[in-house]
Amino acid sequence: MSDRRRAFADDPIRTARYAVSAGRFREALALLAALSDEMRSSPESLLLTAMASWRLGEFRASHQSAQQALTGFRSRGDVDGEMRAYNVAAAGLVAIGRLEEARDGFERAKLLADRFGDTLMVARCANNIGNVAYYRGDLAEALRQYGHAVSLFDRVGSVRGVAEAWHNTGVVWREQGEFDAAGEAADRAIDAAEQLGDFRMLGWTLGGRAETDALQGDLRLGRARTARALELAREHEDRLTEIDCKRVLSRIAVAEGNLSEGLNLARSAVHEAGEVGNPWMLAKSQQQLATVLAALRSCDQAVDAYTAAAAAFEWAGADGRAETMRVLAKRLS
């Protein structure tokens, strides 16, 4: 018997936990599915299922498993498990557009982490609370939370956390038009991903840098980086990054004057975002589709796409952004 099989026989949940930490999410789900009914319904197993499911874009299933894990940890009086389950369950809520509930979940996890001196979990919660603020359009609060997260991740030596927080910081700076700052933040995220040797993470950090490249006018570099990010996303089953890369490539194609390519890519992104059921990605993809249709002078279709983007942003809990889409639709009517 190989060492790996022996480890699974001795402690299959430990083996699944290792697969999740190593980014082998499909393998982790297969390991967990092979457990006995009793082991599969344990809080730890359910939490690992939730974590792997989220990474594979199965957000509703992730939230459901995390909620079940939360109930189980509570019944055992396992406060550490409860804290972790709150955080994962809230991440599922963000992905399906229930931002108010998600923030409450992150705050509860953070309160427990503060109480028990778990600096790493405090950092994760700060980063996640920053995400909620970003989706709501409160960019100043998002930057404040991301900055706090970076400081804490640095303190505990979490390179992964540093990469996530810097990537998120770059997204906010880019949205504010601060492209130099956005590029520097994205480069920090890429450096951390490369230091870890995490190619899945490298995919979405490269994608973020590529969009900034394009907005700075370097379409050639932006396209090359996005193509590499898309390749990595497909290789590692990162559906959200795959969709976002198509949105960015559509944006680049339009800037290059290739509206036909831009239209096809935007439509593909919208279709796949609808399949995944992530309202934020659907909204962003619909917004890009509307932009392409407007450039093609297909005003009625562009109005429909902006209206669909508004509905998706509203579903995502981003009411301010939804109103911006409605204004753009009205201008074309």
Q: What is the pLDDT of residue 7?
A: 46
At 151, the pLDDT band (50, 70, 90 cuts) reads very high
Q: Do the two domains 1-117 and 118-227 of this chain adopt the same fold?
A: yes
Range 69-73 average pLDDT: 95
List the CATH code of the domain at 118-227. Answer: 1.25.40.10
At 29, the pLDDT band (50, 70, 90 cuts) reads very high
The residue to which tokens 């083996």 are assigned: 15
| Contact assessment for residue 103 and residue 133, using Cβ atoms and an 8 Å cutoff | no
Cα dist from 129 to 97, 98, 148, 225, 233, whole Å: 14, 13, 11, 29, 25
List the CATH code of the domain at 1-117. Answer: 1.25.40.10
The residue to which tokens 């957000």 are assigned: 59
Q: What is the DSSP string of 219-282?
A: HHHHHHHHHHHHHHHHHTT-HHHHHHHHHHHHHHHHHHT-HHHHHHHHHHHHHHHHHHT-HHHH
At 6, the pLDDT band (50, 70, 90 cuts) reads low
Burial class (CB in 10 A: 0-12, 13-18, 19+), 262: buried
Structure tokens at 75: 């019944």
More confident residue, 9 or 251: 251
Q: What is the pLDDT of residue 111?
A: 95
Q: What is the pLDDT of residue 9?
A: 52
Domain ranges in the chain are: 1-117, 118-227, 238-333
CATH homologous superfamily of 238-333: Tetratricopeptide repeat domain (1.25.40.10)
CA 168 to chain CA centroid, nearest Å: 10
Q: What is the pLDDT of residue 10?
A: 63
Q: What is the pLDDT of residue 57?
A: 84
Q: What is the pLDDT of residue 161?
A: 96
Average pLDDT, the chain: 93
What would the pLDDT profile of 188-244 be if each residue is shown by its tens digit?
999 999 999 999 999 999 999 999 999 999 999 999 999 999 999 999 989 999 999
